[in-house]
Amino acid sequence: MQTDANIVDFEPGTGRALAYGWRRMKANALLFLLAALVAIVIEIPMRGNTMEFGGDATDALYALLFFAYALLFHPVVDYGVSFIFLKGVRGDQVQIQSVFDGFKNYVNIILASLLVFGLVIIGLIVFIVPGIYVACRLAFVSYLVMDEGLDPVEAVEASWRLTKGHAFKIFLLGVTCIFMFFGGLVLLLVGVLPAIMWACSSFAALYLSISQDSEPIAQHPAAAQDSIEEA
């Protein structure tokens, strides 16, 4: 696997991540476009659901199918999309089929998504600000599960350690990406796909930059073996 040695050669920062994310987005335009389309498609059932279920059998079945989709399918593909952007930004050779790589690590992804969801919800219940803070500190869990092969607890702990001192940068990047998305909506939906591509590229760039400046992450044996072979 060929990787650009200078792929994360910048100090962690929101502006730098956006700038590098933009360059890598242009370099992987078609691949990232397909990944963004997949991300939109898997969100449709989530956004289209009104959660106003009645008491009959049909509504009960619909509710069961929705929760099964939300808990057992959506996170797996979502993590796969994140993995594509991470590999593309890093300069790895990657194919769109990698969007389904999450099914190779299915249990860890489901448990990790549930753990992150639970921790963020607890923070939101306590008060909104702690929930946002927790979400920022756990923003890298998907990368750590997919790329480092960590289990859910290890991934949460590693994300918390990596993001120490960087929570505001992650928050600022997230807010910027929200404005980018709504800006795309204003442009008659034309800019939505580029906004998603740029946002995902920028988050992957920020993760790579921060992880490069941090202590080595304890790798899963399989991930460690891959690193040895690539070296």
Q: Are 83 and 120 in contact (CB under 8 A)?
A: no
CB 171 within 8 A of CB 132: yes
Tokens describing residue 69: 């989709």
pLDDT of residue 213: 72
Residue 114 near residue 71, CB atoms below 8 Å: yes
Say what the pLDDT of residue 171 is.
Answer: 98
Q: What is the pLDDT of residue 224?
A: 41
Which structure tokens are listed for 167?
A: 């929570």
pLDDT attached to residue 4: 46
The DSSP result for 4-39, as a single string, is -TTTT-S-S-HHHHHHHHHHHHHHTHHHHHHHHHHH
pLDDT given for residue 49 in this prediction = 57
Q: Hey, what amino acid is at 121?
A: I
Residue 218: strand, helix, or coil: coil
Per-residue pLDDT tens digits for 66-80? 889 999 999 999 999
What pLDDT was estimated at residue 186? Answer: 84
Extract the residue ranges of the chain whose pLDDT is less than 50.
Answer: 1-6, 219-231
The rounded radius of gyration (Å) of the Cα atoms in the chain is 18
| Alpha helices, DSSP H, located in the chain | 14-27, 29-48, 57-72, 74-90, 106-126, 128-137, 141-148, 152-162, 167-186, 192-213, 221-230
- Residues 69 and 73: their CA atoms lie apart, in Å, by 5
pTM of the model: 0.85
Tokens representing 189?
Answer: 């939906």
**Longest alpha-carbon distance in the chain:** 59
pLDDT at res. 164 = 96
